[in-house]
Structures are given as structure tokens and as C-alpha cells.
Amino acid sequence: MTSLRHCLRVVVLLAMTSLCAFGQRTTSTLPGMPAARDTVRKAPLGVIDGLVTDTNLVPLTGAEVTVLRSQVRVRTSENGRFRVLGTPAGAYLLVVRRIGYRPLTDLVEVIPNDTLRLTFALERAPQSLDTVVVTERRQSPRMREFDARRKLGMGEFMTRDDIERRAALEVKDLLRTFRTVNVSPSYTKGPMAEYFALGKRGGGVMQGECAMTVLTDGVQMPKPFDLNLLPPPRDIAGIEVYAGSATVPAQYAALNSGCGVVLVWTRDGFR
């Protein structure tokens, strides 16, 4: 009997040891990862607080604010205000639009643990009634201007249909297909590469690797501009590229366009 009790005790101890070992394996961590019981440090967040008005500074209700490269879409309240909470620190492109007004696009920088305060004044778009019934798809003023410049043949163009055929993952991949653009990476700010559009003529990069001027929905971006900040191709309506100041459209002639100009039109800002 004593021998039997001893054997049972050994079996129980072995079973408990196996359970403990199994539990230790399921909670183990990979090398370099903090243990599960450690507190996970959250990325610093900021807040975007804004006001949308017309050019007479009258608050606009129901204006839509879109943060490109995200799922964020908010509308302004009765006093024209909007607020985006819990935004990771970094640079973002915002599109603000409302029916009857021209859309605006702006590049903003969210500071960690701080509130970014913005004001947008939308210009009223001229309204006109069609005198005839047409069966073609209705075009926005920006789209009509895009098509008019494309017919002149002064630059390189990529339409929405062209973008869909290429099935690229990033806009920088689309820009690589333009003859006059060299997309070049830079690692000066850390391990993550920034990508810039450099002017290219005669099949080679211009002397001094001159950064091209980039505009999104007609708004000039900082120069040089990291192409990673642009929205994905599915959100792009069209792209225009001009190799130098001699071919740049008149409305953009005042820009520093000696190295070339890239015009990116989003589907939101193109309406």
C-alpha cells in the first residue's frame, strides 16, 4: 500500500511539472520583446482642432474634413468647428470640402501631446445651370482644366484609368514611370527612407539633384517633399509632370519651377 501511494504521488508531481512547463512556454516572449506583464508604451498622440469658414469668415456647417492615408472623415458642427482626437504625431494631408465651395488641401504637422489649431476659409464655387442635357459624366472645374492641359501636350499626364491599369501600391511607384522624374530615397532622418522627386532631363538626373516642386490639389508642399506623405493611388484622380519652367502652366509660373513641377490631384479634391 505504501508503495502504491508513493507511485501515485510521483505521477501527480510529474503531471504538475508538465503543466507548469506548458504555461511557461505560452507566455514566453521573443528576444527583444518586452514581457507580457510589462507596460506597453503608447506612441505620443496629438489633437487636431479646426474651424471652417467661407471667405467672409462665416462658419460653415457640414463641411467634410478628410485626413488622407487614414479612415478619418469628420464634419463640422453648427459653429464650423471640427476636432480629431488621438492623432499619432507626424505630417498629414487634409482635404476640406463642402458642396458649393472649392475644396482646400493643406499639409499639417501634428505635435505629440499638443493641440494643432487650424482655420480654413473656403471660396465659393460659381454655380451655373446646364442649358442642354448631356449624357457624359459631369466634370469638376479642376478635371476640365486637367483635360485641357493634357490636350496641349506640354507635359506628361497620368489619368485615373492609367493609374488603375498600373495597379501600383504607392504614388512614388507611379512617378517612377514618368520620363522626366527620378524618384530618389534619402536616409538622412533615420532608418525609414524618405522619397523625393528629382528633376531629370535627357535621361539623367539634373546637376545637383534638384528637387521638383510638388503640389497636391493646387497647394504647394514643402520642398523637398517626402512622397510617402501622398495618399495611395486608389485616392488619386490624376498626375501632371512638367520638366521645367518653360512648360509649366501659367497659373503655376510664379513657383520655383526650374527643376520641374509635379501636380497631384486627389479624388476628394478633384470634385
- pLDDT value at position 22? 35
Q: How confident is the model at residue 41 (pLDDT cuts 50, 70, 90)?
A: low
**How far is 176 from 133, CA to CA, in rounded Å?**
41
Give the tens place of pLDDT for each residue, 43-74. 689 999 999 999 999 999 999 998 887 788 99
**DSSP string spanning 96-148?**
EE-TTB--EEEEEEEPTTSEEEEEEEEPBPP----SS---SPP--HHHHHHHH
**Which residues, 6+ apart, have CB-to-CB distance to 245 below 8 Å?**
253, 257, 258
Is the pLDDT assigned to residue 172 strictly greater than 70? yes
**How far is 176 from 125, CA to CA, in rounded Å?**
35
- pLDDT value at position 18? 42
Is the pLDDT assigned to residue 4 strictly greater than 60? no
- pLDDT value at position 49? 96
**Which residues, 6+ apart, have CB-to-CB distance to 226 below 8 Å?**
91, 194, 195, 196
This model's pTM is above 0.75 = no
Q: What are phi and psi of 94, to 5 degrees?
A: -110, 135
Mean pLDDT, residues 250-267 taken together: 84
Is the pLDDT assigned to residue 206 strictly greater than 90? no
- pLDDT value at position 153? 85
Give, in degrees to the nearest 5, the angle at Cα 246 between 240 and 249: 45
Is the pLDDT assigned to residue 254 strictly greater than 70? yes
Give the tens place of pLDDT for each residue, 8-29. 454 444 444 443 443 333 333 3
Q: What are phi and psi of 15, to 5 degrees?
A: -65, -45
In one letter, which amino acid is 4? L
Is the pLDDT assigned to residue 130 strictly greater than 90? no
Q: How confident is the model at residue 201 (pLDDT cuts 50, 70, 90)?
A: low
Q: Which of 105, 107, 110, 96 is nearest to 53 (CA)?
A: 96
Q: How confident is the model at residue 156 (pLDDT cuts 50, 70, 90)?
A: very high
SS3 265: strand
**How far is 143 from 149, CA to CA, in rounded Å?**
10
**How far is 199 from 42, CA to CA, in rounded Å?**
40
Give, in degrees to the nearest 5, the angle at Cα 91 between 142 and 255: 45
Residue position matching grid coordinates 493643406 = 106
- pLDDT value at position 58? 96
- pLDDT value at position 246? 85
Is the pLDDT assigned to residue 31 strictly greater than 50? no
Q: Which of 98, 106, 102 is nearest to 124 (CA)?
A: 102
Is the pLDDT assigned to residue 133 strictly greater than 60? no
Considering only 24-33, 54-63, 158-167, 234-243, which range has the smallest mean pLDDT?
24-33
Number of Cβ atoms within 10 Å of the Cβ of 4: 8
Is the pLDDT assigned to residue 251 strictly greater than 50? yes
Is the pLDDT assigned to residue 248 strictly greater than 80? yes
Domains of the chain plus CATH, in order, are: 45-122 (2.60.40.1120), 141-266 (2.170.130.10)
Q: Which three cell numbers stand for residue 74?
A: 469628420
